[in-house]
Amino acid sequence: MPRVTRSHTVAHHLVQGGLTDLKLSEAAQKKDRPGLYREDGFAVRSVRAPDGTVLTVAGAYGPDWVMTKAQIRHRLEQPYIRYTVTDDAPDLADQELLVRWATAEELAARKRATAARQAPLVALLRRQQAEQDAADSGQASLF
């Protein structure tokens, strides 16, 4: 059973990430007109999962709501925030994402994927450091 995901906490993380909270009512969010708003931003509301757990739906609004939706996903899936964001849950509009706490397995998988993406850069940096150390040790013997 997932942990309760509070909408005000999700909103706080998004505001801290630089997104604008439009503070739309639940009725306004359900109109499904993301392009109506002049300013890009988000709105959150609480929903109940089938098992009774309270989860959060974050919606992207504004002229560039697709980019805002991507920013919401990116911000909330950071390792230090630890949410999982899905857009394939039933009853979600195109601009909405379901937010829940990430499981330990999901966090471990993200960590492995990040390490795999960074492996070539890490190898290059280590090789450059080894070459620099070798050059430094050769120089030190001359002085």
Name the residue ranges covered by the structural domains of the chain: 7-102, 104-143
DSSP, res 83: E
In 57-88, which positions are buried (b, 16+ CB within 10 angstroms) versus exposed (e)?
Answer: bbbbbbeebeebbebbbebbbeeebbbbbeee
Question: Is pLDDT at 32 greater than 70 in this prediction?
Answer: no
pLDDT of residue 91: 84
Question: Is pLDDT at 140 greater than 60 in this prediction?
Answer: no
C-beta separation of 60 from 77 below 8 A: no
End-to-end CA separation in angstroms for the chain:
67
pLDDT of residue 49: 84
C-beta separation of 56 from 47 below 8 A: yes
Nearest 5°: the CA angle 74, 80, 81 is: 60
Residue pLDDT, tens place only, 36-69: 788 899 999 999 888 888 899 999 998 999 999 9
